[in-house]
Structure 1
Amino acid sequence: MKVTMIAREYPPYVYGGAGVHLRYLSQELSKIMEVEVRCFGDQNIPGQALSARGYRMPPEFEAKTHKFNPAIGTFATNLHMMLDPFDSDIVHTHTWYASFGGFLAKTLYQVPLVATCHSLEPLRPWKVDQLGNGYHLSTWIEDLVIRNADRVVGVSRLMKQDVLEHFPIRPERVAVIHNGIDPDKWKHTPISDELKKTWGIQDDYILFVGRPTKQKGMEYLIEARERIDPGVQIVMGAVGADTREYEEMLEKRIAGRKGFLWIHKLLKEEEYIQLYSSAKVFVCPSIYEPFGIINLEAMACRTPVVATAVGGIKEVVVPEKTGLLIPPADPQAIADAVNRLLKDRKTAERFGEAGRQRVEERFSWAYIARQTKKMYQELLAGRRKAIAVPDLPADATLNRYGFDSGTFQALREDLIAGRRGEGKNVVTGAFAQPDAGDFRDVAALAQKERTRLAKVGREAMAAGKLGVAIVNGGMATRFGGKVKGIVEVFDGKSFLELKLEQVARAAKRAKARVPVFIMNSFATEAETVRYLERNDFFGIPRQDVFLFSQFIFPRLNPDGSIFSPHPERPHERYYGPGHGDFVFALRQSGALREFLEQGGEHLWYSNVDNLGATPDEILLGLHLESGAEMTVELAKKLPGDKGGAPARVDGRLQLVEGFGFPKDFDADRIPVFNTATYLFRAAALDREFELPWYATEKQVGDGKAVQFERLTGDLSRFLSTHWIVVEREERFFPVKTPQDLEAQRAALKKRLSK
């Protein structure tokens, strides 16, 4: 796998955090894949695993004959980059300066485009001072690329939120991968006498490092000078101003004030490490900061941090643990925080040690590179190598929803050859009845045990370890063409509204964030998205709702030919190949990786039409204490119940669908059945599974069609599984048809209104 990174900054021309990011990310990525860098400049760095080439702005633009040349010249440089041959699998851009080149690569070479947002133009209106009306060009190209990127990367969760607020893009297309740092290089290194002498640095100093721009808030640090211990020097390593006018304004404010040292030169990396290491306090007074890698650099060098509580800084600096967070644009707050740490050296040292530990655990570049490569793999998995299906008409819908033509054609050939079909779905192996001791009966739990388990579950929720997955796929056929999830159940409330209300109540009880993952299908996606957006996601924060879709297959006739739907119902040509898509689509969308990255550990899975399957503290406690990778909710079987049930196959207890039982095995003797509600240890889902495919016949219009499907319950074949029997009247009341809804409406309202 090969990626082409496109950026403005790359060594030796690095002026800000984006350049630092690309330098280290490309180095670490090159250890596990091939990386090519195309950047602004005159670099020419050949290499097998990592190569870099710089591209100069055409001379007529460098001459700056009018004020728009910097912006127009940026576009010209991007065009220049695309003149060279391109053979990468992925193109990955950094900042708007390089976005147009990435857009061209995606369009011309049909490769996935990743765009990392280190900042956002709509949040930096002061850049009009730098670019004039050229700023409108930069905002336009940023908008173009974010709208068209296959994955947008925010360097913080707040950056993701900003992207969602300012651009019409769905959350599943925005990943969060933090900036990182090399902890082996960035570590405490006392300042040398030579460096102190060269610049006139005193023994006691506080430090600022960053570009002199409005967003960095340097003027507020300058204004705080008179209120900070006069015996402490303020050292500012600031170079690369957006405009000379802003830099001159800062110089005028410093003039006549004692205790300032402004280093107007880009230092060597080892010199910055020394500066950070010997500073008494590092100050980051930014008014806008998507991430703030400078805080990581200070923490890696065991220096306590005083930083503003804006943007991604709040995801890096832990208040009262690795530093102090203060309001932005507040000189008095800066002075108070700095003076506190100057006086309380024990606390300052404790913050420094904790900062170093946090860097090592969460922000190493090796970890960031692995996360980035995994994201690339997710994108490429969604572009499976296609094979020709001669009698299948070309359709953009198939590509959009991840049609795997290779798998489809192999299954189809099996059907034609008689190796697959409804009579071929029986699971092979030696079957045996489950034992009574295989299941934990929730109803039999003593009150003391319930209280204890509820505490375990509630603490896990409060720690942000739980997410909720809702299956909202299918073909939207049983309710007259209306998506079941948005059908009214009672009092104007739909299935989805009631499910999301249940999540919101659980989150409120636990005082926690509980993200929701909704799997749609090509038939339910558009209407579901419009419905949720129109109703503001029913109280769940927008950034906490992750929408993704299952895959798509064409239907077949029983003889293996492509099914032709009625001309008035063209959508019937396709279907979603079973809820077993869940684990594959979740990974491919990036949702699973992001959930794990944010500290999520467990996912509660249920169908949208089972309103009894709510997040429950006791059941979560049972799942956690079992240590299992999967917990299955079972219910006691009643006469007439059909569906899957647990059975031993070759000694292993696993779920078997009704059609999977051999004729000589009495499945009716199994006293319980599968409710299709599961709890998963999320990390256990982050791997490949060979789930079996089943061929089923469906009545579609006036004819029969064959569909291939996978089932989520078959994960019990691969995962360590805990089995619990829940109280049916509390946890299981699904609604499959309009007739079911009419019959149960009053009972549902009574149960759900408790």
Structure 2
Amino acid sequence: MEHSEIKKHIAAFTEKIKKENLPQVVVDSFLYYYHKVINGERGIIFDKDIECVRENEITYSNDLSGYSDTGRKALKNTVRILLNGGLGTSMGLSKAKSLIGVRGEKTFLDIIIQQSEKNNIRLAFMNSFGTDKDTVKAMQKMNLPVFPITFLQHKYPKVLRDGFGPAVCPNNKEIEWNPPGHGDIYAALQTSGMLDKLLSEGITYAFISNSDNLGATVDEAILGYFAQNNFPFLMEVSDRTPSDLKGGHIARHINGNLILREVAQCFESELGAFRDVSCYSFFNTNNIWINLIYLKELIKEKGFVYLPLILNPKTLDPRDDNSPKVYQIETAMGSAISLFDGATAVRVPRSRFYPVKKCSELLAVRSDCYLVADEKLIINPARKLMEIRIHLDPKYYSKIDQFNDRFKEGVPSLIECESLSIIGDVYFEKDVKIAGNVTIKNTGNNPAVITKNSIINKDLTF
């Protein structure tokens, strides 16, 4: 690319960001990553530069019960931060995903609020420009005795893949921007003044997780382990299976530090190595513990928490595959593990990781496979099977309104179901029970209906 063209694009991006009244740190950080992009960097982490992390290198949370008393004492110095920037566009949403009904009438937000009230712990939400208004409005209706802290995630302009200029959509300016990934939390804490505010109030420890993961409550034993050992950073990891291959795995860099590698940071020719669960056997749950004093020191030293680049190829309009092709510059919160000397990881059970990224996962969480006990989502003790596997035909179930319409009388009982696959257009009446391994297929042009009180324990074709 010609130098004059680069200068023109940089000026356009700078003006665009400043017009949104975003802080200078957003200009500086965006241009830092943008220069990497135009110089051909794609954030790749090569397999030759990392090594496996073995089971005996990771502490298991089941062995930390002796730290619980320390953790209980540290609760008063702890904040729970929810990453609440997701609009759930993959589920056809245009509002905060945390406002979806997940258990009866209760939303993710309702349950999170109740969890924190039970633990008597400070609560904060990092919202995006798209989720802040709806989330705050929903919380105001709750008449909470202590209103949670809220602060805004920044945003980056989308970059055209053809020519690397700013993406433009005059009819919908909002889609010209993308959230810069949850790695933005460090800058957002800094520029919002929230980091200094929390530290001034004696808050030293932050537990950060996704708002769509109801398994991620504040664990007193892990908090105690984190606090007593004065770790700067701790990542919760869990055993990786073939179904977790899209998520990031941890490894050890040849320099000795732990590192997070996402699939977007891997060449296609090395995907086989990326998928090797015998070597890279732990995935990042995105449950992260941060010592805010260490974070403040890192920012003071570096000026900004510069995380490894993730370059995400998308279309300008996420709902239109024919719209211009763009890059979204993003970073991952967990990749900060490589920046903190002494950062560590703890192996946690799968029960701390129940994310809802698509409607198939929402079906599982709404079903009787799970219960809410002590305001925590848990596997129903009556379920004797492994984690359920669900596939829903994306043509009919990928969007939340489609999903709700087909299960408007209630989701079926799945407590005895090992796997469920629905192909074609199928509606469910109330009190349906599905057991075993079942495929329901509708090959016709009209919707099929599973009538009330049906018990399905074998494949069904309409």
TM-score (norm 1): 0.43
Which residue of structure 2 aligns with residue 722 of structure 1? 344
Normalized per residue, which structure has more helix?
Answer: 1
1:533 pairs with 140, 145, 148, which one? 140
Any conservation in 2 of the 1:398–1:552 contact (CA below 8 Å)? Answer: no
**Counterpart-to-counterpart distance in 1, 2:74 and 2:205:** 9
* Counterpart position of 2:50: 431
Q: Which has the higher strand share?
A: 2
- The whole-number CA distance in structure 1 between the counterparts of 2:231 and 2:45 is 27
The answer for the alignment partner of 1:644 in structure 2 is 248
Which of structures 1 and 2 has the larger relative contact order (alpha carbons within 8 angstroms, sep 6+)? Answer: 2
Partner amino acid, structure 1, of 2:96: V
Change (3 A) 1:416 1:624: closer
Residues 67-111 of structure 1, C-alpha deviations (whole Å, 9 max, x = no match)? xxxxxxxxxxxxxxxxxxxxxxxxxxxxxxxxxxxxxxxxxxxxx
Aligned runs of 1:319-718 on 2, under 5 Å?
389-390=11-12, 398-400=20-22, 404-409=26-31, 411-417=33-39, 419-421=40-42, 424-426=43-45, 430-443=49-62, 445=63, 450=65, 452-461=66-75, 464-479=76-91, 480-507=93-120, 514-536=121-143, 539=144, 541-542=146-147, 545-559=148-162, 560-565=164-169, 567=171, 569-642=172-245, 643-650=247-254, 651-661=256-266, 663-664=269-270, 666-667=273-274, 668=276, 669-686=279-296, 687-688=298-299, 689-699=305-315, 700=318, 701-702=320-321, 703=323, 704-718=325-339
- Aligned residue number for residue 740 of structure 1: 361
Separation (CA, whole Å) in 2 of partners of 1:592 and 1:724: 25
> What CA RMSD, in Å, does the superposition of the two structures yield over aligned residues?
2.6
Q: What is the 5 A alignment of 1:17-416?
A: 389-390=11-12, 398-400=20-22, 404-409=26-31, 411-416=33-38
Q: Following TM superposition, by how much is the alpha carbon of 1:394 offset from its aligned partner in structure 2, in angstroms?
A: 5.3
- CA shift digits 1:636-666 (9 cap, x unpaired): 1122212111111112222222233465582
* SS of residue matched to 2:329: strand
Structure 2 residues without counterparts, runs of 5 or longer: 1-8, 300-304, 379-462
**Which amino acid in structure 1 is aligned with residue 85 of structure 2?**
G
Contact 1:633 1:724 survives alignment (8 Å)? yes
Alpha-carbon separation, structure 2, partners of 1:488 and 1:672: 31
Q: For residue 629 of structure 1, report the CA deviation from its aligned partner.
A: 0.9
* Alpha-carbon distance, 1:570 to partner: 3.4
Given that 1:401 and 1:549 are in contact with CA atoms closer than 8 Å, whether structure 2 keeps it comes out as no
1:625 CA drift (Å): 3.1
CA distance in 2, matches of 1:465, 1:391: 40
CA distance in 1, matches of 2:366, 2:261: 31
**CA-CA distance at 1:753 after TM superposition:** 6.4
Kindly tell me the number of residue pairs found equivalent between the two proteins: 346
- Note closer, same or farther for the CA distance 1:391–1:693 as it changes in structure 2 (3 Å cut): closer
For the pair shown, the structure with the greater C-alpha radius of gyration is 1
Change in 2 beyond 3 A, CA 1:571/1:736: same
Identity, in percent, stands at 25
The answer (yes or no) to whether the contact 1:646–1:653 under 8 Å persists in 2 is yes
SS at 2:160 equivalent: coil
Alignment check: 8 A CA contact 1:470 1:518 kept: yes
C-alpha change, 1:565 and 1:742, in structure 2 (3 Å) is farther
Q: Are the equivalent residues in 2 in contact too, given 1:401–1:552 (CA < 8 A)? A: no
Map of 2:419 onto structure 1: none
Structure 1 residue 707, shift from structure 2 partner: 0.6
Structure 1 residue matching 2:167: 3-state secondary structure: coil
Q: In 2, Cα distance between the equivalents of 1:735 and 1:434?
A: 27
Q: CA deviation at 1:626?
A: 3.0
Q: 1:390 to 1:611 in 2, by over 3 A?
A: same
Give the conservation status (yes or no) of the 8 Å contact 2:206–2:290.
yes
Match of 2:168, SS?
A: coil
SS of aligned partner of 2:159: coil
Superposition deviation, residue 602 in structure 1: 0.7
Q: C-alpha deviations, 1:447-483, integer Å up to 9, x for none? A: xx62x3211111222xx11111110113442342121
> Could you give the per-residue CA deviations for residues 351-405 of structure 1, whole angstroms, max 9, x where no partner exists?
xxxxxxxxxxxxxxxxxxxxxxxxxxxxxxxxxxxx9633788588721576733
Aligned letter for 2:21?
Answer: N
**What secondary structure does 1:459 align onto?**
helix
Q: What is the letter of the counterpart of residue 711 of structure 1?
A: A
Matched AA of 2:365: Q
Q: TM-score, normalised by structure 2?
A: 0.69
Work out the CA distance in 2 between the residues paired with 1:474 and 1:722: 27
Q: Following TM superposition, by how much is the alpha carbon of 1:708 offset from its aligned partner in structure 2, in angstroms?
A: 0.5
CA contact (8 A) 1:629 1:680 kept: yes
Structure 1 pair 406/595, CA: closer, same or farther in 2 (3 Å)? closer
Deviation (angstroms), 1:439: 0.5
Where 1:655 maps in the other structure, the secondary structure is strand
Q: CA deviation at 1:438?
A: 1.4
SS at match of 1:390: helix
Alpha-carbon spacing, 1:597–1:552, altered in 2? closer, same or farther (3 Å)? same
Query: Quick one: which amino acid aligns to residue 666 of structure 1?
Result: A
Tell me how far apart the structure 2 counterparts of residues 400 and 410 of structure 1 sit (CA, whole Å).
16
Q: CA–CA distance in 1 between the matches of 2:74 and 2:86?
A: 32
Deviation, 1:433, is 1.0
The runs of 5 or more residues in structure 1 that have no matched partner are 1-386, 508-513
CA 1:617–1:394: 2 relative to 1, 3 Å: closer
Measure how far apart 1:697 and its partner are.
0.4
CA 706–682 in structure 1, closer or farther in 2 if over 3 Å, else same: same
Distance 1:734 1:401 in 2: 32
Asked if the contact 2:258–2:344 (Cα under 8 Å) also holds between the matched residues in 1, the reply is no
